[in-house]
């Protein structure tokens, strides 16, 4: 009877980690390992900047060309694909570099914290708290890196085209490809920035998920035995 009652009370009073506390802990963890966090974030920044620069660069270039074609002679131009085939591999490469870089950074950050994870589990943390904390950390880094990367990538695309097209780029401004490119595909500068941010976050979470789940599943004693 008494055993039954105790089991019930154990079930009723759940272990918890409020989301706001989880965010606070992740944020603090990033702040204290500042340089390590900055390097991971830079990795994401470069990957996303590359991705955004390639796509937006194409969009802007196509807009400039379409504008020139119209001015010189208004012959109907042939529609080019939004991303030329020879550049598709560049985009894919940049994404792979992103995922590998982030996975590697997360793997290191998880491995050097096995003892910490074991300790947390001794204090009552559930596996999903550990996963949540690591995924929060990586998506915070992903978000920061992706926003900065999208801005850097867009500026880079503008500068390159400004150099190549000179003042004709300014003539394009009244029909600047903000939302769609010349083919009407949603690859204008604004949606590409949004895509960059989402991709950056997603890559950060995907890259961190493997190491985070593996670490969370470790029994507390085993996690603490690991000497790093």
- Least CB distance from residue 166 to other proteins, whole Å? 52
Q: Quick one: tokens of 38?
A: 């900055």
Rounded to an integer, what distance in angstroms lies between the CA atom of residue 164 and that of residue 211? 44
In this chain, which stretch among 10-18, 75-83, 99-107, 165-173 interacts with other proteins, using CB under 8 A? Answer: 10-18
Percent helix, percent strand, percent coil in the chain, to nearest 5 = 80, 0, 20
**Is the CB of residue 205 less than 8 Å from the CB of residue 138?**
yes
**Is the CB of residue 81 less than 8 Å from the CB of residue 182?**
no
Binding mask 205-224 for other proteins (x = CB under 8 A): --------------xxx--x
In this chain, which stretch among 41-49, 78-86, 123-131, 191-199 interacts with other proteins, using CB under 8 A? Answer: 123-131
In this chain, which stretch among 27-35, 55-63, 78-86, 88-96 interacts with other proteins, using CB under 8 A? Answer: 27-35
Rounded to an integer, what distance in angstroms lies between the CA atom of residue 86 and that of residue 89? 7
Name the residue among 85, 84, 65 with its Cα closest to residue 75: 65
Q: Binding-site residue total for other proteins (CB under 8 A)?
A: 35
Under the criterion CB under 8 A, does residue 100 sit at the interface with other proteins? no
Residues interacting with other proteins, by CB under 8 A?
Answer: 2-3, 6-7, 10-11, 13-18, 21, 25, 28-29, 32-33, 115-116, 118-127, 129, 219-221, 224
């Amino acid at each position: 009877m008494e055993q039954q009652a105790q089991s019930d009370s154990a079930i009723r009073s759940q272990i918890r980690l409020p989301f706001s506390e989880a965010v606070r802990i992740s944020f603090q963890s990033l702040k204290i390992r500042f340089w390590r966090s900055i390097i991971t974030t830079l990795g994401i920044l470069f990957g996303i900047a590359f991705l955004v620069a390639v796509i937006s660069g194409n969009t802007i270039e196509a807009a400039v060309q379409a504008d020139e074609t119209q001015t010189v002679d208004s012959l109907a131009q042939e529609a080019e694909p939004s991303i030329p085939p020879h550049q598709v591999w560049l985009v894919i490469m940049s994404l792979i570099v992103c995922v590998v870089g982030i996975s590697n950074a997360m793997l290191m950050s998880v491995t050097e914290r096995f003892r910490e994870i074991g300790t947390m589990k001794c204090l009552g943390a559930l596996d999903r708290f550990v996963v949540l904390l690591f995924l929060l950390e990586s998506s915070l880094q992903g978000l920061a890196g992706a926003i900065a990367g999208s801005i850097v990538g867009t500026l880079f695309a503008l500068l390159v085209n400004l150099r190549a097209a000179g003042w004709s780029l300014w003539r394009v401004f009244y029909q600047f490809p903000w939302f769609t490119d010349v083919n009407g595909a949603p690859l204008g500068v604004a949606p590409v920035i949004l895509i960059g941010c989402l991709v950056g976050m997603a890559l950060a979470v995907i890259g961190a998920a493997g190491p985070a789940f593996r670490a969370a599943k470790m029994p507390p004693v085993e996690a603490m035995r690991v000497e790093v």
